[in-house]
Amino acid sequence: MQTADFIALTVIALSGLWGFFRGFSTEFFSLCAWAGALVLTFRLYPLAVPYIEPHVVEHIVAIGIAFASTFVLLLLVFNAVGNHIGRLIRSSLLDGADRLLGVVFGLARGYVLLVVGFLVLRSFFGSWADLLTHGSVIAPYIAAGTHYLEGIMPEGMHLRLASPPTTGHDAVI
């Protein structure tokens, strides 16, 4: 096993352990809280701009403060509700199933984190990132997830910070 395998297994195991301790319901409602806060922030932050604008010089700064403060406030409220529901489920007879599903959710989240991390790593360092995972047992599964993610991403969202390798007649002279 390569170093990349140990790092990947550590990320997946820690995420699964985190899911076990928090439980599926808490993890699920936490994810819903982030998504709900983000969606509602886009709708509600313009209502906060007029209250912030008199206190700042630039309009764009007022928009940024309104967006950030609205998001944080909504996230705190939604997380409080989600944690309360999670505690109610953990105190019931469903605690074992909730923790088991939390492990499954955590393992899946760990895999997604690795896929997104590898996508970002490859966008910054190009084919050098592939060399880091050469000989790894887990890397082909992460690369398959990265390939799938690149396939469903909109065309403009592909991160291409690293220069593509140039060979032959395409090489810069």
pLDDT at position 139 is: 87
Please give the tally of structural domains in the chain.
1
Mean pLDDT across the chain: 85
152 is a domain residue: no
| Residue 105, domain member (yes or no) | yes
Q: What is the pLDDT of residue 85?
A: 86
In a domain, 88, yes or no: yes
Choose the weakest-confidence range: 20-29, 58-67, 120-129: 120-129
What does the pLDDT average to over 102-109?
Answer: 94
Name the pTM for this structure. Answer: 0.71
Residue 158 pLDDT more than 80?
no
Specify the DSSP element, H or E, that contains 126: none
pLDDT score at 126: 74
pLDDT at 79 over 90: yes
Q: pLDDT category, 70, cuts 50, 70, 90?
A: very high
Length of the chain: 173
3-state secondary structure 13-41: HHHHHHHHHHCHHHHHHHHHHHHHHHHHH
Residue 86 lies in a domain: yes
170 occurs within a structural domain:
no
In a domain, 166, yes or no: no
For residue 62, what are the domain limits? 3-137
What are the helix (H) ranges across 126-138?
Answer: 127-132
Give the mean pLDDT of 128-139.
81
Q: Is residue 52 part of a domain?
A: yes
Per-residue pLDDT for 6 more than 60? yes
What pLDDT, on a 0 to 100 scale, did the predictor assign at position 12?
Answer: 95
